[in-house]
Structure 1
Amino acid sequence: MSQLSRRDFLKAATAITAMNIIPGARAGETGPLKVGLIGCGGRGNGAARDIMSAGKQLGIEVKVIAVADVFEDRAKGSQKGLNQAGADIKDDHVFVGLDAYKKLLETDVDIVILATPPGFRPEHFEAAVNAKKHVFMEKPVAVDPVGCKRVMSAGQKAKELGLSVVSGTQRRHSFSYRETIKRIQDGAIGDVVAAYAYWCQGGLWVREKHPNQSDLEWQLRNWLYFTWLSGDHIVEQHVHNIDVINWVMGTHPVSAFGMGGRQVRTAPKYGHIYDHFAVEFEYPNGARMLSMCRQIDGCDGRVSEFVVGTKGRSNCNGWIRGEKEWRYEGPNPNPYVQEHVHLLQSILKGEPINEAQNIAESTMTAIMGRESAYTGRTIRWEEMMKSEISLMPKELRFDMELPIPPVAMPGRPM
């Protein structure tokens, strides 16, 4: 009798597991894990490709079979591009419109990728959990305190239903970050007394408003520059670095004291968001984090994290210096793929992972910093948790007027 290789054995075991626990799998055939993409921009298409790559890495078939987007050109563009990459998206599984996500969730997909502008994330996450789908959701997961609390609640329901939830905080799935932070938490640098988080770079893409565009269409296509859609760049982008420090500290800050402004990107096409922030966050143990983010061309860049302890210091991502010198020398696969590997493994093993609370807290941390900068006030965590601030319009129609909000001015009523 021929002997199975270890690789063949693992593939066979994985297939058997899939038959037993994956929704829609039938005895005698494994079938692919079916994925639906909600939000067909660059990050959504990237995530769809990454989850298919993760399936190949694990030796299982993962197929994107449905896409949904507000705009037809986006949805059909995803269908074409992803099918060329190995997806199987039929015309009747391309959904368009403000309610497109609801139609996708009615299909037999096992996993949904949520990659629309973040303002929609709480509503879409709640709907996905109610539809009993496993979820990969891009960060951030909200743009306001009400949205964060909705995600926390839906995340708890997902846990009760045995659903896996992974967020797009890929540093948490990076081998070098994981090993370094484990050592920090095990005491390699003593007690952490100070932390630093940075995302400073040049400007990003921007979309001019065309004469035939409605307010809503333009803002949706130019979503980075409207707080109700992106949360401002401290939330949309810098949440990655803030999340790393929360991870190191094992908790969220208790307060934020911040400032920021709109010094260079002042044209109307840039909506009303800031182009720089600097925030001091205080943690329960009294440690402070200095958080800085900037999107201005022609300036020096820095995207990193750094922590100082009573016995050493670390970049959180590969080295520790001090009493115990150490450098990570192990493998470091692409974390954008690895986060999907971890999601698929959790589903196949029947051991759900749930990152909803962590990413909701990191999103709330970033929002707390934004609100401090916008108002000029020290903002405390309990204030955010009690806040009823909700930036999402009560209804959305393409014929509605949607004026650009005024730029936040610290010290003045908003």
Structure 2
Amino acid sequence: MSDQQPSNEESKSTRRDFVKKASIGTAALGLSPLVFPSLSAADGAGKKKLKVGVVGLGGRGAGAVRDILTADPDTILWAVGDIFDDRMKKVSGIEKKFSGRVDTGGGKRHFVGFDAYQKVIDSGVDIILLTTTPVFRPLHFKAAVDAGKHVFIEKPFALDIPGLKSVMDSAKKAQSNGQSVLTGLVWRYSSALMEMHKRIQGGEIGDVLSTSSSYCGGGRPNKMPDIKFKPASMSDMEWSLRYWQNFVELGGDGTLEYMIHGIDRMSWAMGDTLPARCFANGGNIIPVEAANAWDQFTLRYEYADGRVADFFGRQIPGTYAASGDVITGSKGHAIAKGQNVSLVRDGKTIWKSSGGLGYVNEHKIFTEHIRKGKVYNDVIDKFDITHAICIMGRTAGYTGALLTDKQIMSSKDVFVESKGLNFDTPFTARKSPIPGKTKFI
């Protein structure tokens, strides 16, 4: 994309293209979850039992298992893998909730270690849930796709641009092979938000001109204790993996680990297109000793047609947890605040609704595609763009530079080489970046 500002007529045309592009995807999903994206695939699974394997049984992993078992009554948990042995205790809780739907061979298909992902893949499963520490996601995803599996990949699925390009390649291969892929950006599967965006794309507030979004929490998730509490026998790598949210190398920092939900909603409103430019600010109000992830970001995105989108995110205890969107159109605006959504024209609310996160709904869509022999893939031209936008904003904040779309997609920075990584691998966190001094790589 060029840095040159377009003419007014070009801007109007580009905005119409944005709306048209978005309506093909999210609006179609709102009408029928089996319409887009889909193509002819192998015979569907029908009513057969679908064997599910999970890699990473932390909080999100156990949650994803519950979600897919709830969404499809003919799924069973077949295999479990994690790098931490203590996570296997969660299987008994899943067994109690879903009686008769856990069959891991009496524990024979409980795999522990850095190669557990491959053992789960090779165990005879139909669907893989990838929910371990995000740094492993491109490696695990490629292995699952290469093995011909349908895959759920929890967000974030890439922490740097080389990792994102790997995921994009694997997603394209999955689509061409007839394998479905689902990503864990659950606000896209909220029934209320799906209906709101269908109405926006139908023109109820005119052309979308700008979006202001926020995603704030009351504190860092899984905040790392003081480093003095690290057991002497525990390696630096094991300690860091247990508190991965605190390290950009393992979790991607706040824009990817947490704020991605709000940034994704912003991208949805703006037509799922990579902005032409971004500048940003961020830092630590309450730093964590020996960690390097920031607790706040303020991002400004400029699109090729002259539109702008702003995002504000923070994770600071005791602060107002503002999360939502204001989408301004040429004829009105849309407001999403928490679970409540509305459309406003001429100062009057013309439509409103409410609805929670789409944890179960997304898995219904996913498994329905598999059973009907259709391919579902929400990575290509949708959530790959969201991840690029998150990385772009984080990097703009770190460097203090005005970054273009071409610049960010040319980044060669690889945070951690996950292949061959183990608890004995040396790990030292990067120094926290200094805007204006940290260089773009």
Report the TM range for the smaller structure's normalisation: 0.7 to 0.9
2:351 aligns to what? 327
Work out whether 1:347 is the aligned partner of 2:370: yes
After TM superposition, give the deviation of residue 335 of structure 1 in Å: 1.2
1:226 aligns to what? 247
2:284 aligns to what? 262
SS of residue in 1 equivalent to 2:384: helix
After TM superposition, give the deviation of residue 383 of structure 1 in Å: 1.3
2:94 aligns to what? 82
SS of residue in 1 equivalent to 2:299: strand
After TM superposition, give the deviation of residue 186 of structure 1 in Å: 1.8
Work out whether 1:182 is the aligned partner of 2:182: no
1:191 aligns to what? 207
Percent identity between matched residues is 36
Is 2:249–2:429's contact at 8 Å kept on the other side of the alignment? no
Alignment of 1:1-400 (within 5 A): 21-22=44-45, 30-56=47-73, 61-74=74-87, 76-86=88-98, 87-90=102-105, 91-203=107-219, 204-208=221-225, 209-250=230-271, 251-268=273-290, 271-316=291-336, 318-323=341-346, 325-329=349-353, 332=355, 335-357=358-380, 358-393=382-417, 395-400=420-425
Q: Which moved more, 1:373-382 or 1:313-322?
A: 313-322
Alignment of 1:395-410 (within 5 A): 395-410=420-435
Is 2:224–2:246's contact at 8 Å kept on the other side of the alignment? no
After TM superposition, give the deviation of residue 145 of structure 1 in Å: 0.6
Q: What is the TM-score of this pair, normalised by structure 1?
A: 0.88
Is 1:67–1:78's contact at 8 Å kept on the other side of the alignment? no
Distance 1:335 1:286 in 2: 32
Q: 1:135 to 1:276 in 2, by over 3 A?
A: same
Q: Which runs of 5+ in 1 are unaligned?
A: 1-18
Counterpart of 1:399, as a letter, is D
Is 1:83–1:89's contact at 8 Å kept on the other side of the alignment? no
After TM superposition, give the deviation of residue 366 of structure 1 in Å: 0.5
Offset from partner CA, 1:23-74 (integer Å, 9 cap, x none): xx8xxxx541110001110001001001000013xxxx11011111111111
Counterpart of 1:373, as a letter, is G
1:4 aligns to what? none
1:7 aligns to what? none
After TM superposition, give the deviation of residue 373 of structure 1 in Å: 0.4
SS of residue in 2 equivalent to 1:315: strand
Q: Which moved more, 1:368-377 or 1:88-97?
A: 88-97
After TM superposition, give the deviation of residue 79 of structure 1 in Å: 2.3
Offset from partner CA, 1:277-318 (integer Å, 9 cap, x none): 101011232211111111111111111122111111102563
SS of residue in 1 equivalent to 2:314: strand
Is 2:121–2:144's contact at 8 Å kept on the other side of the alignment? yes
Is 2:211–2:269's contact at 8 Å kept on the other side of the alignment? no
Q: Which runs of 5+ in 2 are unaligned?
A: 1-41
After TM superposition, give the deviation of residue 409 of structure 1 in Å: 0.7
SS of residue in 2 equivalent to 1:290: strand
Offset from partner CA, 1:71-94 (integer Å, 9 cap, x none): 1111x1232222222222231111
SS of residue in 2 equivalent to 1:40: coil
Q: What is the TM-score of this pair, normalised by structure 2?
A: 0.83
